[in-house]
């Protein structure tokens, strides 16, 4: 009689196929599909009294990017509420312009310079040190990831963003939509500070939670988006028609990616981050942009102002922005406005929250 061989439980476990962690991915998507709530970053204080004789200077990565311009407007609005002088410096992704801004802030006796929205301070370290020697504080808003990065020791502070969670939301979405069969093309400009945590969290989440998922990464510098973005995506889609998602870490790249998808005859969808209005309009009017993770940029600017005021007023430091991520899809994109804006769709709970926090109500 032939002996029946029964494999051990360990052997059966090794032979069993690995499955994507769909429950965790769905829970993450559900959490960030809910309207944001306000969480105070610190204790209340009398902002108007403490800022009565202080001035703030904001230098964005570039005013040409609506994302940076919207954050700067949040700073301007917050300064108007509190009643102190704030200057938003004009720059066009130009290190010479950043340096000129620092020099101007020093010459005009500002108290603090905020390097906003991805501006890489390491390019400006000598100028930053000179400004500090002149008595200014140098900070950054929305520049580093809150858990994996941080301001260098020669900066005075930073209000950082949870980029890792944003990347994980993007990855989880693609996992759920494809039932664990993602083949994604990820794109980002390596020279921008937040790209690394966004890129690494998207790719890392899929590697850790989705054994049958695949990713390919292409670096496209910001200044080359218009000339290199479309051909890079188009060539990748033609070389591998099974790509089902294109994931630019910043959604403004979508304007160059959509034509590439169309020309290649691909069914790939775009999922990205920033909640840029023209991209939300593309989502509402078409079917290639499938999901976008946004955050109220007016909220970001107010939260950055809050962190800077606390630094200038000698209060405990705040190093993380309390600006929740929020998922836009076809189902709720209409709430972002028509045309969309950087602040519609998120609610306005933060405005009353900051007013109360700053002793204005």
Domain boundaries, the chain: 22-35+164-294, 47-161+296-323+345-357
Q: Long-range contacts made by residues 280-288, C-beta under 8 angstroms, separation at least 24?
A: 280/328, 280/333, 280/336, 280/340, 281/338, 281/339, 281/340, 282/254, 282/255, 282/258, 283/328, 283/329, 283/330, 283/333, 284/330, 284/333, 284/334, 284/338, 284/340, 286/258, 288/258, 288/261, 288/262
pLDDT band at 12 (very low <50, low <70, confident <90, very high): very low
Query: Is 179 a residue whose pLDDT tops 90?
Result: yes
Question: Are domains 22-35+164-294 and 47-161+296-323+345-357 of this chain identical in fold?
Answer: yes
Alpha helices of the chain — where are they, by DSSP H?
A: 9-15, 22-31, 47-50, 66-82, 95-107, 125-133, 163-178, 195-209, 230-239, 254-264, 277-285, 297-312, 349-357
Q: Regarding the domain delimited by 22-35+164-294, which CATH topology (the fold level of the hierarchy) does it fall under?
A: Rossmann fold (3.40.50)
Task: Write the CATH number of the domain with boundaries 47-161+296-323+345-357.
Answer: 3.40.50.2300
- Beta strands 289-294; 326-328: pairing state: antiparallel
Q: For 239-273, how does the pLDDT look when each residue is reduced to its tens digit (9 = 90+)?
A: 999 999 999 999 999 999 999 999 999 999 999 99
Q: What percent of the chain has pLDDT over 90?
A: 86
Q: For 78-132, how does the pLDDT look when each residue is reduced to its tens digit (9 = 90+)?
A: 999 999 999 999 998 889 999 999 999 999 999 999 999 888 899 999 999 999 9
Report DSSP state, residue 145.
E
Tokens of 119: 């501006």
pLDDT at res. 66 = 84
Global model pTM greater than 0.95? no
Q: Quick one: average pLDDT of 25-38? A: 96
pLDDT at res. 194 = 87
pLDDT at res. 18 = 60
Q: Share the mean pLDDT of the chain.
A: 92
């Amino acid at each position: 009689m032939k002996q029946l061989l029964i494999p051990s439980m360990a052997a059966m476990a090794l032979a069993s196929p690995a499955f994507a962690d769909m429950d965790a991915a769905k829970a993450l998507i559900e959490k960030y599909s809910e309207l944001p709530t306000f969480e105070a970053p610190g204790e209340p204080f009398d902002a108007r009294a403490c800022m009565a004789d202080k001035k703030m200077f904001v230098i964005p990565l570039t005013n040409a990017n609506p994302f940076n311009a919207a954050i700067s407007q949040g700073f301007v609005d917050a300064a108007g509420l509190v009643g102190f002088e704030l200057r938003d410096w004009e720059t066009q992704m130009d290190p010479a312009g950043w340096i000129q801004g620092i020099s101007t802030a020093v010459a005009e006796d500002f108290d603090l310079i905020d390097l906003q929205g991805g501006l890489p301070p390491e390019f400006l370290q000598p100028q930053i040190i000179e400004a500090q020697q002149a008595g200014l504080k140098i900070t950054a808003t929305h520049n580093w990831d809150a858990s994996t990065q941080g301001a260098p020791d020669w900066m005075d502070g930073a209000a950082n963003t949870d980029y890792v969670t944003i990347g994980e939301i993007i990855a989880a979405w693609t996992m759920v939509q494809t039932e664990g069969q993602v083949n994604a093309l990820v794109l980002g400009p390596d020279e921008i500070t937040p790209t690394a945590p966004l890129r690494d969290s998207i790719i890392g989440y899929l590697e850790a939670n989705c054994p049958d998922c695949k990713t390919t990464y292409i670096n496209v510098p910001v200044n080359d988006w218009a000339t290199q973005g479309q051909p890079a995506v188009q060539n990748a889609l033609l070389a591998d028609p099974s790509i089902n998602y294109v994931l630019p870490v910043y959604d403004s790249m979508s304007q160059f990616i959509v034509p590439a998808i169309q020309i290649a005859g691909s069914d790939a969808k775009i999922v990205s981050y920033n909640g840029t209005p023209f991209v939300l309009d593309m989502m509402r009017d078409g079917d290639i942009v499938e999901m976008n993770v946004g955050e109220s940029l007016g909220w970001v600017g107010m939260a950055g102002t809050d962190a800077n005021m606390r630094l200038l007023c000698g209060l405990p430091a705040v190093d993380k922005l309390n600006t929740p991520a929020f998922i836009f899809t076809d189902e709720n994109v209409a709430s972002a406005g028509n045309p969309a804006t950087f602040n519609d769709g998120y609610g306005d709970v933060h405005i009353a929250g900051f007013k109360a926090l700053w002793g204005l109500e």
